[in-house]
Amino acid sequence: MAVLASVLRGQGKFNDAEKISRRAMEGYQSLLGQQHPDTLTSASNLALILRDQAKYEEAVQIYQEVLDGREKELGAQHPDTLMSMSSLALVWRDQGIYDKASVLTRQALERREEVLGKRHPSTLTSASNLALLLREQGHYDESEKWSRQALEGREAELGKRHPHTLASASNLVLVLQDQGQYREAEAMNRRVLDAYENELGMQHPSTLTSVSNLAFVLQEQGQYSEAEKLNRQALAGRETALGKQHPDSVTSLSNLAFTMRLQEKYAESEALNRQALEGREERLGMQHPDTLASRNNLALVLRDQGKYEEAEEWSRRALQGYRTELGAHHPHTLTSLSNLASILQDQGNNNEAEAMNRRVLEAYEEELGMQHPDTLRSVSNLASVLQGQKRYREAEALNRRALRGREKQLGPQHPDTAKSAGDLASVLRDLGKGDEAEELERQAQEAREEAREEAREEAREEAREEAREEAREEA
């Protein structure tokens, strides 16, 4: 039964997998008792499938029971107990309960280092989990440190082309992207993709995930045509390998819709978003976070087309779902509230938009900290509303705060930093400070030129390295 449930889960047939997994768990409970190790393993398998479906509360309950049972039966230091700690922390991360997730993840990491050693694969998994959690909290420097440590450990223990090593490299790519280090992220992603293609084949799910990740890196650099091509490749591959209704296939559909939106191909983006939303509603349910994300995405592309009333309707439905499923202070909920505020601002509802943006900003400051990128984005959004209300002094102060924060967190060459510089320059012109605005725009232009020159030099160095490799092969 466990094998069949695992196969069905891999196919994205979560409902069927859940039914079989429940039957297996109930069978073990009847035959062996609640606390038998095999029963606890079966319960843990069920919790994993529940997590796939975003049934977080039941997953947490089961994982907690499994953790308690394993601590009692096997001891606090047993590898299975530590695995349960790690699994519970992952669900808390999904729920946005970062404080509890962080404590448990660090505890699992420390115990694994003590029991198994710093280079054990399970210890490196804990290091990787901590890196991902820190990334979601906006602690990019520390996340990068742990990502590199996990990658180096896996390269040493498992080899550079082992799937777990490649997964670590992919995780590092994500945090490099977040910091605007796109050239390094792209180069690493291309190496990972090449390894996956050689080791696993063009149609393996991990290969297709790497294709999708590369598309995102290129998209962030404004290379929309190549990003579209890769997203279409990932979509076609997933539909062939997994089926059109598999959650990963629908994710590719959603990614392609977003790329279309960035290219202002709004009609096609809207059609793809509606298709993704329909697929997620059918396969994952009306309240799954991915379904709610599709509602948000549809609202945004409708807003782009000036369809404000329908955009507002979808945005409010997404927001209500997030509040119900994840809570009012979850980052996804706050992002949804911010999107709704932008739609209201477009319709001239500045007072309501201002109130929403202030609630979002206050929550981000409390949950994520003053310097988190999402907090700084919220600062920028509020400044935009105030500028529209001709409250230029307040808008100036907020834009200066956003610019300082982004320069510190992301660097002067990051696109978000450049946007903040442009926003501040716009307000300064409204205040009659043309000279300072011109100087700010000049500095921003110099930063962009410097970034382009660094990218060109990195490309030249990569070309020289490839030439040296070819020379060595010929020799």
Q: Please provide the size of the chain in residues.
A: 475
Residue corresponding to tokens 């059918």: 282
Helical packing angle, 308-326 and 331-346, nearest 10°: 160
Q: Is 390 helix (H, G, I), strand (E, B) or coil?
A: coil
- CB–CB of 231/215 below 8 Å? yes
| Tens digit of each residue's pLDDT (9 = 90 or more) over 224-269 | 899 999 999 999 999 998 889 888 899 999 999 999 999 999 999 9
What per-residue confidence (pLDDT) applies to 408? Answer: 86
- CB–CB of 124/154 below 8 Å? yes
Cα–Cα distance for residue pair 20/15, rounded to 1 Å: 9
What per-residue confidence (pLDDT) applies to 154? Answer: 96
Going residue by residue through the chain, which has 475 residues, state the pLDDT in tens, using 9 for 90 and above: 778 888 888 777 888 999 999 999 999 999 999 999 999 999 999 999 999 887 889 999 999 999 999 999 999 999 999 999 999 999 998 887 888 999 999 999 999 999 999 999 999 999 999 999 998 887 888 999 999 999 999 999 999 999 999 999 999 999 998 877 888 999 999 999 999 999 889 988 899 999 999 999 998 887 889 999 999 999 999 999 888 988 889 999 999 999 999 999 999 999 999 999 999 998 888 988 899 999 999 999 999 999 999 999 999 999 999 999 888 888 889 999 999 999 999 999 999 999 999 999 999 898 778 988 889 999 999 999 999 999 999 999 999 999 999 988 778 877 788 889 999 999 999 999 999 999 998 887 887 777 667 656 655 665 555 555 444 444 4
pTM, full prediction: 0.78
**Residue 224 main-chain phi, psi, to 5 deg:** -70, -35
What per-residue confidence (pLDDT) applies to 475? Answer: 44
In 16-98, the DSSP E strands lie at: none
Q: Topology of domain 348-446, per CATH?
A: 1.25.40
Here the tokens at position 246 are 């598999």
Residue-wise over 411-441: b if at least 16 C-beta within 10 A, else e? Answer: ebbbbbbbbbbebbbbbbeeeebeeebeebb
**Residue 399 main-chain phi, psi, to 5 deg:** -65, -35
- CB–CB of 394/401 below 8 Å? no
CATH code of the domain occupying 226-317: 1.25.40.10
What per-residue confidence (pLDDT) applies to 472? Answer: 44
Q: Would 226-317 and 348-446 be classified into the same CATH topology?
A: yes
Cα–Cα distance for residue pair 334/326, rounded to 1 Å: 10
Q: Is 110 helix (H, G, I), strand (E, B) or coil?
A: helix
What per-residue confidence (pLDDT) applies to 443? Answer: 83
**What residue spans define the domains of the chain?**
226-317, 348-446
